[in-house]
Structure 1
Amino acid sequence: MAIMGYLRDRMGKIVAGVIGLSLFAFIATEAVRSGGSFFKEDNNELGSVGDEKIPLDKFNAAVEQNLAQFRQSGQTHVTSQITAYVQESAWNQLVSKAIFTKEVEKVGLAVGGDETQNMLTGPNPNPRVVQAFTDPSTGKFDPAAITNAQNAIKSMKDDDPQRAKWNEFVTDLIDGKKAEKYLALVSNGIYINSLDAKDGYEAKNKLANFKYALLEYASIPDAKATPTDADYSSYYDEHKNEFKNPQELRAISYVSFNAAPSKADSAVVETQMNKLLPDFIKSTDDSLFVQINSETKAPLTWQAKGQLDPKIDSIMFKQIPGFIYGPYLSAGAYKLSKLVATRTFPDSVKARHILITAAEAGGPDKAMARADSLRKLIESGKGNFAALAQTFSADKVSAAKGGDLGTFGRGAMVQSFDDAVFSGKKGDLKVVTTQFGVHVIEIEDQKGSSKVVKVATVDKPLTASTTTQSAAYSKAQTFLASINKDNFDAEATKEGLKIQKADDIQGTAAALPGLFEARELVRWVFKAKQGEISDQVFTLGDQYVVAHLTTVKPKGILSLDLVKDKIKPEVIKQVKGKMLSDKFAAAANGATSVDQVAQKVGVKVVPVQNIVFANPVIPGSSAEYKPIGTVFGLAVNKLSKPIAGQQGVYVLQVDGFINPAPLTNAVREKEQMASALLQRIEGSLFDALKDKDNVKDNRAKIL
């Protein structure tokens, strides 16, 4: 039974390992962006990888497991941002698993029984195994626990849920090992030859000394560089691959109607708080008063200056107990704060403890009895605190130091522990219960002295009334009824409404700039056709929103029309570049040096020393790839043609090169270059395989 209990205790970690360290998570490194609600349209296909479908129920199961992991880690409140992160992680896990399962099968990779066992019980077990079988109280890995778990599994029935979870855990290890082998196959295909090594060495060590003349783009006003359609087409054709859209994106214009609390709403809540004031003044049990009347049921604790609400922090430290401040508005709520008590506490405490846990003692009562016995033993002088801590304390880290916790300030420990050591005096021996167990505490020293206060605060959130919400919603509905796809902007302007935009919306987004909890709106955006007006008023927090779908950017290479506004600054720069190049070309006619060209166009010549090809930065400027590349291809004293860079158009002339010493360690250079190349491969492998396997993502229309 002990083995079965141990196994069940560890199952949470095993499942967390399966999800948290998903078998291909090290490859699926796409930035987590956004997501939304789930458990909708259960019969729909969420996506596919080639011929393999990704069903919604499988995705939902992965999401639930990921959420369970968050909760196990102490995340009790799951926000929309966490939900989005969890959904994106679950999607990447399913897609990466499908992709790499196919790739592994193609090349015939396998993991044998001995390899599997070695990952579990070998001299260097898999990190996931180490994590799952590490004792949280000691931080030590327990190899024997794995053997115990395996033996327990063998005695279970085939349909036992614990057996299924264990099999899932082992399968995950095997699949992860296959993925490692696949990556190793790809990595082993990297080869750097001697010529590559020589070029790489020279790129980092060959020095160039040159001088240049620069005509900056800023010297020509934008108004004098009007691009033609041919200019746009030329730039677009040269950079077409930069406009590849990995997923469909959409854009909207929208207006919002504010339903935030009005002055009348504020007055109502303030009046309610004023009605509470006489009872608060008379209250003799302020903690109970807070629990009954406050929206926030915060316990009354001692707080130092700087820990209170900024609106009352300085006030409370100048008053006497019984003083009440408020009602005052803070953090979206009206509050009343009463100074309950003041006292002086030390700034820091040095203490040591012995921790007795209920699990080790055989129950809470036995833990308390053992702690009391240890305290009496120490008080009688028959027991040495440090020796007893080393023998009995469940806190092995401090036990190794005789129970010493060092010196710490208020707030470093849990509340009940803090209260005990800061309210006592040097030399006190106390027994205190916390969520960790029962502590025998000795206060060894106290330093400093500061005033602390205990403040009771009653709060009531300031929320919009039904009248306020109805008025804002009515305005939004009236506006919606008056518009169509052709007059949205005109009607909004006529009504004095601010038109806002949200560009490049992703299909899984849960929020938009300035709009939180916007999943319902995003879902409409990806079901609507371009030009459509929203079919309803969307309620987003205290905002009512009416939207107009203005742009659809499909997956793949975007058309010139869709990127024209985005590329306009670069196209203008290109037009200026032609004008400046023509100016330089005219000045270079008959010239033999950059000094002569610079004099004709009225600019200074700038000398540059010790530039390497691998770091193409011109001092005082930015990275200039084309000009520096031109330098390393020029003959000494030869005048270059005009070269368009990032800051403007350059004309360059090389004074000379300083060649490095001959390469003596080609092996080391090859290793460095291979390592850098490998890092790039690991980062792009998943994306490349995803494109190859034709991954389809229907989440935008389903979730």
Structure 2
Amino acid sequence: MSVIQQIRDKYARWAVVAIAVSLLGFIMMDAFSGRSGFGRNSTTIGKINGKKIDFLDFDRKVKSQEEMYKQQGYDMGEAGRQQVLESVWEGEISQQLMQDQFDELGMTIGKKELTDMLFGNNPPQDLKQRFTDPNTGVYNAAAAQQAINELRKSAKPEDKAQFNEYLGSLEFGRMVEKYTSLLTNSTYFPKWFVEKQNVDNSLLGSASFVTVPYASIVDSAVKVSDDDIKKYINEHKKDFEQKDETRSINYVVFSAAPTAADTAATLAQVEALKAQFASATDPGSFVTQQGSTIPYYDAYVGKSKIQVPNKDTIVALPKGAVYGPYQDASSFVVARMVDEKVMPDSAKVRHILVQTHNPQTGQVMLDDSTAKKRIDSIFLALKGGANFDTLVARFSDDAGSKENGGLYDYFPQGKMVKAFNDFAFEKPVGSREIVKTEFGYHLIEVLGQKGQEPHYKIAYLSKAIVPSSETDAAAANAANQFAGESTNLKAFNANYDKNLKAKGINKLVAQDIRPMDYQITGVGASRQMVKAIFEADKGDVIQPERIGDNYVVAVVTDVNEAGVQSVNHARATVEPILRNQKKAAQIKQRLGNVTTLETASTVLGQPIQNVDSLHFAGPNSALGFESKVIGAVFNAANKGKVVADAIEGQSGVFIVRVNNTATAPIGNANVDEQRRMMVMQARQAMMYRSPIEALKQNADIKDNRAKFY
């Protein structure tokens, strides 16, 4: 026991240290492998010039913007969500980069300036709308100031926070205006610049030349190696820098689209329902119960607005009759005539709304009995001679029409909710009644109607042509089998050549896929597949992904890290340039020393061409974009002789003789007036040009969104 005790006494401290070091090692291994909170669980979604962007705060902004778009009726599928993510991210970048500029310049908004912004001669539009007297049209700054002071004193904390965000956005907008004004007013053109431009614009020249097009040498005769491309990249690194990592894939698709048998099955299904549809006492409920892909629209549609196949046949149906099935895009449809009447195609109304509910959020705004009493009182006041506009300004809860005296100018059938719409189009002009909708109680007056034409209420029983479970399973099995037999890039290509190529299935390419993409060119929208591509390594095969009517199997062919592009990535850009350079070298070698244009024409087998009225500045249709040739023509050292060296142009090699150069007469140019016009045009252009893109070039931006979305 004494020996054990001695060991404990002597080595306990070292054992603790050893255990601590071991634990630290495991923790660091987890951190670098992304398994612990140091890696994957970090809430930093990005950094802009060192400032961390927290995921929770960023995601709150994303969800808020998504909710706003949903309330406005926008589709928030993958495309919509991606637009929101980009919008919020760009907003974070813009705000931080601009704030850095404001701080560096010492720009601020003082208390007096903020007061002037809110209550001065040019207040924010929302305040102006809310606190402008409808009778005088004058902005009541005192009322606005009183309302804001009350808000600051007694509002809920969340309301105060929202108001402070509002003030912050106003201040930021004013700072951006100041910054932009500073840039705009710094625009300057020196006198010498304008005078030099006038001289350049007056230069004229004439020349003769022989040209050998690069296209005269077949591309296959010129080889461009990887070393050639790498050398070119190293000499032009600035042109081949990329901030984001990109990836490329090869992929094949296995179609799961409906077959002829699936189409026939859908047609038979609709045929079987036709008789029941024709005899249904409530056609609207019937199509809803049957899951029609065209929902029942319980309103009338003008003949000119109906856009369906076989329209003339359908509108000629008697009430209760059916037509079909007919094919409309990827569905089979049976149409039933429900009703017909002649109605206006647009109406003009004014109204007062006492709101009880917000249909988007479900929030109760006012209890029903109180709202009904209020609208009855308003109607009574109106009958007693009260001014409609005054009542709108005092009582209406419809922000969309309140500033216009409750007016909705001529609007088409179906734009409003059903009860509102029916009253506006079915009651005669001059009618004035209370109408209840899902928003609350409306006092509506019909002011006008126009465009009388036949209107129809039609029910459509529609079934989409979809693949059967057998069709889907066959495509999925084929994709899974191909993916299972393709373990790497080499196996993928060999498997394709052996099993798919003869079947007419194409092997396709998608390049420059970025981490935050949601759509792959040629493949379709699939954020899931993009994430899988960036979780894989070069040569990895991505498991089948259902995208649209296809199962897609892809293999990662190229990984281009952020920084200078790889040879494979840059090849498409660089190879044509280097190929033309090598072709130019062959042409020059064949030409030898240039002595006369006639000798060059004979040696190269190309005719001598002449060009007169060649401009140094401006369009030159005879030579296009051959700037090197034009520069050589107006080089004073070349006047009256053949240019010593053949010129490698955009389209071929040129041997040039400069016949003459001269200066056209310059009119009485008012240099000061030209400078003034140039400054004015430049400043106008800068008003529509954001400084953000320029600031991004020198910014340190880390984007980690792909780890979170």
TMscore range, shorter length = 0.7 to 0.9
SS in 2 for 1:301: coil
Looking at structure 2, the residues matched to 645 and 263 of structure 1 have their Cα atoms a distance apart, in angstroms, of: 56
Note the alpha carbon deviations across 1:136-166, whole angstroms, 9 max, x for none.
9989976456413421233136x71111111
Answer whether contact 1:429 1:443 (CA < 8 A) is retained.
Answer: no
Answer whether contact 1:213 1:604 (CA < 8 A) is retained.
Answer: yes
Looking at structure 1, the residues matched to 608 and 268 of structure 2 have their Cα atoms a distance apart, in angstroms, of: 73
SS in 1 for 2:446: strand
Normalising by structure 2, we get a TM-score of 0.77
Answer whether contact 2:45 2:708 (CA < 8 A) is retained.
Answer: yes
SS in 2 for 1:529: coil
**Corresponding residue to 1:590 among 586, 596, 621:** 596
- Residues 609, 411 of structure 1: alpha-carbon distance in 2 compared, 3 angstrom cutoff: farther
- 1:488 — aligned with what? 492
Note the alpha carbon deviations across 1:512-535, whole angstroms, 9 max, x for none.
12433411111121122211122x
- Residues 301, 217 of structure 1: alpha-carbon distance in 2 compared, 3 angstrom cutoff: farther
Looking at structure 2, the residues matched to 235 and 264 of structure 1 have their Cα atoms a distance apart, in angstroms, of: 57
Counterpart amino acid of 2:442? G
- Residues 608, 161 of structure 1: alpha-carbon distance in 2 compared, 3 angstrom cutoff: farther
Counterpart amino acid of 2:68? Q
Looking at structure 1, the residues matched to 686 and 381 of structure 2 have their Cα atoms a distance apart, in angstroms, of: 62
**Corresponding residue to 1:525 among 520, 533, 539:** 533
Normalising by structure 1, we get a TM-score of 0.77
Are positions 1:625 and 2:627 aligned together? Answer: yes
Looking at structure 2, the residues matched to 398 and 130 of structure 1 have their Cα atoms a distance apart, in angstroms, of: 15
- 1:134 — aligned with what? 129
Larger radius of gyration: 2
**Corresponding residue to 1:206 among 202, 205, 210:** 202
- 1:358 — aligned with what? 354
SS in 1 for 2:249: strand
**Corresponding residue to 1:540 among 541, 544, 547:** 547
Answer whether contact 2:222 2:582 (CA < 8 A) is retained.
Answer: yes
Aligned CA-pair RMSD: 4.2
- Residues 47, 409 of structure 1: alpha-carbon distance in 2 compared, 3 angstrom cutoff: closer
Alpha-carbon distance, 1:555 to partner: 1.7
Q: For structure 1, which segment, 288-297 or 549-558, has the greater mean C-alpha deviation from structure 2 after superposition?
A: 288-297
Note the alpha carbon deviations across 1:370-420, whole angstroms, 9 max, x for none.
56996x89xxxxx9xxx9766767799999999998877766777666655
Are positions 1:87 and 2:79 aligned together? Answer: no
- Residues 273, 571 of structure 1: alpha-carbon distance in 2 compared, 3 angstrom cutoff: same
SS in 2 for 1:82: helix
- 1:441 — aligned with what? 446
Note the alpha carbon deviations across 1:431-485, whole angstroms, 9 max, x for none.
48476933222557x56x6444332112233333333333322222222211121
Alpha-carbon distance, 1:250 to partner: 0.7
Are positions 1:479 and 2:482 aligned together? Answer: yes
SS in 2 for 1:162: helix
SS in 2 for 1:357: strand
Answer whether contact 2:434 2:444 (CA < 8 A) is retained.
Answer: yes
Looking at structure 2, the residues matched to 132 and 472 of structure 1 have their Cα atoms a distance apart, in angstroms, of: 59
Looking at structure 1, the residues matched to 559 and 390 of structure 2 have their Cα atoms a distance apart, in angstroms, of: 69
- Residues 299, 659 of structure 1: alpha-carbon distance in 2 compared, 3 angstrom cutoff: same
- 1:9 — aligned with what? none
**Corresponding residue to 2:460 among 449, 457, 461:** 457
Looking at structure 2, the residues matched to 45 and 422 of structure 1 have their Cα atoms a distance apart, in angstroms, of: 55
Alpha-carbon distance, 1:612 to partner: 5.1
Q: For structure 1, which segment, 207-216 or 246-255, has the greater mean C-alpha deviation from structure 2 after superposition?
A: 207-216
Alpha-carbon distance, 1:656 to partner: 2.3
Looking at structure 2, the residues matched to 241 and 681 of structure 1 have their Cα atoms a distance apart, in angstroms, of: 29
**Corresponding residue to 1:665 among 660, 671, 695:** 671
Answer whether contact 1:215 1:580 (CA < 8 A) is retained.
Answer: no
Counterpart amino acid of 1:493? D
Counterpart amino acid of 1:644? E
**Corresponding residue to 2:559 among 552, 555, 565:** 552
Answer whether contact 2:516 2:706 (CA < 8 A) is retained.
Answer: yes
Counterpart amino acid of 1:605? Q
**Percent of pairs identical after alignment?**
24
Report 1:267-666 matches (<5 A). 267-295=264-292, 296-305=294-303, 307-345=305-343, 353-358=349-354, 363=371, 367=375, 429=431, 431=433, 433=435, 437-443=442-448, 450-485=453-488, 486-496=490-500, 497-534=505-542, 536-580=543-587, 588-591=594-597, 601-609=605-613, 611=615, 613=617, 615=618, 617-619=619-621, 622-634=624-636, 636-640=639-643, 641-650=645-654, 651=656, 653=658, 654-661=660-667, 663-666=669-672
Alpha-carbon distance, 1:260 to partner: 2.6
- 2:75 — aligned with what? 77
Answer whether contact 1:135 1:142 (CA < 8 A) is retained.
Answer: no
Are positions 1:256 and 2:260 aligned together? Answer: no
Answer whether contact 1:258 1:543 (CA < 8 A) is retained.
Answer: yes
Looking at structure 2, the residues matched to 507 and 370 of structure 1 have their Cα atoms a distance apart, in angstroms, of: 58
- Residues 176, 211 of structure 1: alpha-carbon distance in 2 compared, 3 angstrom cutoff: same
SS in 1 for 2:524: coil
SS in 2 for 1:358: strand
- Residues 402, 253 of structure 1: alpha-carbon distance in 2 compared, 3 angstrom cutoff: closer
Alpha-carbon distance, 1:226 to partner: 0.7
Q: For structure 1, which segment, 317-326 or 394-403, has the greater mean C-alpha deviation from structure 2 after superposition?
A: 394-403
Answer whether contact 1:198 1:663 (CA < 8 A) is retained.
Answer: no
- 1:37 — aligned with what? none
**Corresponding residue to 1:167 among 153, 164, 167:** 164
SS in 2 for 1:537: strand
Report 1:207-246 matches (<5 A). 207-213=203-209, 215=211, 217=213, 219-223=215-219, 225-229=221-225, 232=229, 235-236=232-233, 239-246=236-243
**Corresponding residue to 1:109 among 107, 110, 113:** 107
Looking at structure 1, the residues matched to 525 and 220 of structure 2 have their Cα atoms a distance apart, in angstroms, of: 46
Answer whether contact 2:187 2:679 (CA < 8 A) is retained.
Answer: no
Looking at structure 2, the residues matched to 280 and 561 of structure 1 have their Cα atoms a distance apart, in angstroms, of: 61
Answer whether contact 2:299 2:414 (CA < 8 A) is retained.
Answer: no
Looking at structure 2, the residues matched to 135 and 407 of structure 1 have their Cα atoms a distance apart, in angstroms, of: 25
Answer whether contact 1:636 1:656 (CA < 8 A) is retained.
Answer: no
Are positions 1:47 and 2:46 aligned together? Answer: yes
Answer whether contact 1:46 1:698 (CA < 8 A) is retained.
Answer: yes
Looking at structure 2, the residues matched to 408 and 308 of structure 1 have their Cα atoms a distance apart, in angstroms, of: 17
Answer whether contact 2:256 2:550 (CA < 8 A) is retained.
Answer: yes
Looking at structure 2, the residues matched to 359 and 459 of structure 1 have their Cα atoms a distance apart, in angstroms, of: 36
- Residues 462, 254 of structure 1: alpha-carbon distance in 2 compared, 3 angstrom cutoff: same
Gaps of 5+ in 2: 1-38, 357-365
Looking at structure 2, the residues matched to 368 and 216 of structure 1 have their Cα atoms a distance apart, in angstroms, of: 89
Alpha-carbon distance, 1:610 to partner: 6.5
Gaps of 5+ in 1: 1-39, 378-382
Looking at structure 2, the residues matched to 671 and 490 of structure 1 have their Cα atoms a distance apart, in angstroms, of: 65
- 1:692 — aligned with what? 698
SS in 2 for 1:90: helix
- Residues 120, 239 of structure 1: alpha-carbon distance in 2 compared, 3 angstrom cutoff: same
SS in 2 for 1:572: helix
- Residues 359, 201 of structure 1: alpha-carbon distance in 2 compared, 3 angstrom cutoff: farther
Looking at structure 2, the residues matched to 390 and 226 of structure 1 have their Cα atoms a distance apart, in angstroms, of: 80
Looking at structure 2, the residues matched to 582 and 140 of structure 1 have their Cα atoms a distance apart, in angstroms, of: 82
Report 1:141-180 matches (<5 A). 143=141, 146-156=144-154, 160-180=157-177
- 2:122 — aligned with what? 124
Note the alpha carbon deviations across 1:202-236, whole angstroms, 9 max, x for none.
44x42424344352526504246514447646654
Answer whether contact 1:307 1:313 (CA < 8 A) is retained.
Answer: no
- Residues 598, 420 of structure 1: alpha-carbon distance in 2 compared, 3 angstrom cutoff: farther
Answer whether contact 1:111 1:174 (CA < 8 A) is retained.
Answer: yes
Looking at structure 1, the residues matched to 128 and 455 of structure 2 have their Cα atoms a distance apart, in angstroms, of: 44
Answer whether contact 2:413 2:421 (CA < 8 A) is retained.
Answer: yes
